[in-house]
Amino acid sequence: MNKKSDDRLLNWLDERFNISPFLDFMKHKQVPIHKHSVWYYMGGVALFLFMVQVLTGILLLLYYQPGVDSSYESIRFIVTKVNFGWLIRSLHSWSANLLVLFIFIHMFSTFFTGAFKNPRELTWLSGFILLALALGFGFSGYLLPWNELAFFATKVGTDITGAVPLVGKAIKIFLRGSEDVTGGTLLRFYAFHVAIIPAIFTFVLSVHLLFIQRQGMHEPDFYKKLPREKQKTIAFFPDFFLKDILLWLIVLNILLFLAVFFPWDIGIKADPFASAPQGIRPEWYFMFMFQTLKLLPAHILFIEGEIVGVLMFGVGGVAWMLLPFWAGKINAQIRTRVLTTLGLLVVAFILVMTIIGYVM
């Protein structure tokens, strides 16, 4: 397609949809360049990995059959008989893990660079919801192969939700579909994984991206203080966009490497009547919570340790979600120091508990 026909198509579209303002916006959108610019790309990588998830997920859907007698068998069929099925399945698993990792990196970079502050409260809030949904994706997807580890990890995981005071039992039954993890749970998780969470995720992600595009990239305080002529920028399109693509290709290469050299195994088929095998553990991104609950004493004062733990994570999670709304109230002089210390403590806590979880 040459330039002339490009213009004709754009004109044709513009007449009907008035896209000129959007094109102007894209042309003039600038991204600041400074020592922390690298963190701008983390959200883009997470977006790319989400796209990989959607694509590979749709391909897996063509063959996956949920059910106690068919889930494991269909996964086995996918990885052994379907052309490149092994690759798609392995990519889906690896990409899922990297997606959560990059969402965490993106979140903490946003936190430490102070990008969550006014006027980006709702961007932070929608980002937190996306993190929660991504964890929901992980938790629901983990059970779908219906293998031994997934079955017992889901059992333990849903049991923990049962410790939430008042509503815990109802949540547990809602998640499981009955008192225990059964074929009904599998179908339910399948519905969460391929319909409910994707629908909500897509909506929240659209809102999140819209907010970012409307408000532009966050400029750190030190950057804002620079004289106007020293505030370097690059055009979002094509400069920043091409760099994004470059990074995405590198991530794709890493993904392929992981999928080929460390293919995800399918484990042993779940047997609900068998005793739990050794080494039952949740996925790595739940490990810090799981390990904390394990280390808590049976009783703290007069309350069960597990309930205290679940409440602690609940309150902590809500506080983290509402961060932009209360952080602004901290004395401006000590705000940065307080928040940085808090953030470092949270990161250290997550890292230490995760490491203990894998070592112990």
Partner 1 sequence: MSVLKLQPYKIFTVLITGMVLLGPGLVSGEKQLAYTSNTCLACHKDEEVLPEDFFKQDIHFISGILCADCHGGDSAEEDEELAMSARRGFTGVPSKRQIPAFCGKCHSKIEYMRVYRPRIATDQVQQYLQSVHGKKLGQGDEKVADCTSCHSAHRILPASDPRSSTHALNVPQTCKKCHSNSIYMKEYNIPTDQFEQYAKSVHGMALMDKGDLASPACNDCHGNHGATPPGLESISHVCGTCHLNNMQYFSDSKMGEAFVEQKLHGCEECHGNHGIQSTSDNLLGIGEKAICMNCHEQGDDGYITADALHKMLRRVVSLYDSAKVKRNKVQQIGMDDIEIGFLLQEAKQSIVQARTLIHTFDTVKVGQKTAEGYKKTKQAVILADNTINDFYVRRYGFGAATFFITILIVALFFKIREIDKQKRA
Q: How far is the CB of 94 from partner 1 (least distance, A)?
A: 13
Q: How far is the CB of 246 from partner 1 (least distance, A)?
A: 5
**Cα pseudo-dihedral 28, 246, 50, 26, rounded to 10:** 10
253's tokens = 């290469």
Q: How far is CA 254 from CA 46, 173, 244, in A?
A: 14, 39, 15
51 forms part of the interface with partner 1 (CB under 8 A) = no
Closer to partner 1 at the Cβ: 242 or 352? 242
231 forms part of the interface with partner 1 (CB under 8 A) = no
151's tokens = 């079955």
183's tokens = 């074929």
Q: How many residues bind partner 1 (CB under 8 A)?
A: 24
Q: How far is the CB of 100 from partner 1 (least distance, A)?
A: 22
228: Cβ contacts below 8 Å, ≥ 6 apart: none
Answer for the pair 48, 248: CB distance below 8 angstroms, yes or no.
yes
CB atoms within 10 A of CB 21: 9
| Contact pattern from residue 245 through residue 284 relative to partner 1, giving x for each residue in contact according to CB under 8 A and a dash for the rest | xx--xx-xx--xx--xx-xxxx------------------
Residue selected from 27, 28, 81, 337 as contacting partner 1 according to rule CB under 8 A = 81
Whole-number Å distance between alpha carbons of 10 and 23: 10
Residue selected from 14, 121, 219, 239 as contacting partner 1 according to rule CB under 8 A = 239
Name the DSSP class of 240.
Answer: I
Answer for the pair 104, 285: CB distance below 8 angstroms, yes or no.
yes
Closer to partner 1 at the Cβ: 147 or 291? 147
Of residues 149-168, which lie at the interface with partner 1 (CB under 8 A)? none
29 forms part of the interface with partner 1 (CB under 8 A) = no
Q: How far is the CB of 241 from partner 1 (least distance, A)?
A: 10
Strands (E), 44-137: none
Closer to partner 1 at the Cβ: 13 or 254? 254
73 forms part of the interface with partner 1 (CB under 8 A) = no
3-class DSSP state of 272? coil
Binding site for partner 1 (CB under 8 A): 79-81, 86-87, 234, 238-239, 242-243, 245-246, 249-250, 252-253, 256-257, 260-261, 263-266
